[in-house]
Amino acid sequence: MTPSPNAYKLIKHFEGLRLKAYLCSAGVATIGWGQTGKDIKLGLVITEAEAIALLNRDLATRAAKLNELLAGAKTTQGQFDAMLSLAFNIGNGAFASSSVLRNHKAGKFAQATASFGMWVKATVRGAKVTLPGLVTRRAAEAKLYAS
């Protein structure tokens, strides 16, 4: 499967576009719509066209990994887009061991929907805290997953 416009819309909405690199709440250098990586350094400035290219590349890579992790499990477009948004935000490693993926692959869709709500904390200044923005994002992802 590939990301639908709904996946792009959801990710863009919650990530927001920043054309100058900044430190996210977890202290990671970030640019565009939430892109991170070794090439992202504070002071970096990009154009919106470059941000679109970064997002397209990032989502293509993450979608390929999500398809691999799903291993053929029956998945609707809404479920795929919601899980892609979650994996985009928490990373493929964390998503691979998540109860969202585990429940989805087992066909336990109600439990998978509820499991999105477990991913609302981030490390801020060394402490795990619940972020209201993550609570809102997970609710939107769960709603898309269940659609």
Residue 50, domain CATH: 1.10.530.40
Rounded Cα distance between 116 and 2, Å, is 21
**Signed CA dihedral, 3, 107, 111, 120: sign only:** negative
Q: Please confirm, yes or no, whether 48 is among the known catalytic residues.
A: no
> Does 54 have pLDDT greater than 80?
yes
Rounded Cα distance between 32 and 35, Å, is 6
Rounded Cα distance between 44 and 39, Å, is 9
Give percent of the chain above pLDDT 70.
Answer: 100
pLDDT digits (tens, 9 = 90+) for 57-102: 999 999 999 999 999 999 999 999 999 999 999 999 999 999 999 9
Question: Residue type at 6?
Answer: N
Q: Please confirm, yes or no, whether 24 is among the known catalytic residues.
A: yes
What is the overall mean pLDDT for the chain?
95
Range of the domain at 25: 5-146
Q: Which residue has the tokens 């920043």?
A: 18
Give percent of the chain above pLDDT 90.
Answer: 88
| Number of domains forming the structure of the chain | 1
The pLDDT score that the predictor gives to residue 25 is 72
Q: Which residues contact 44 (CB under 8 A, 6 or more apart)?
A: 20, 21, 29, 31
Active-site choice (24, 48, 68, 141): 24
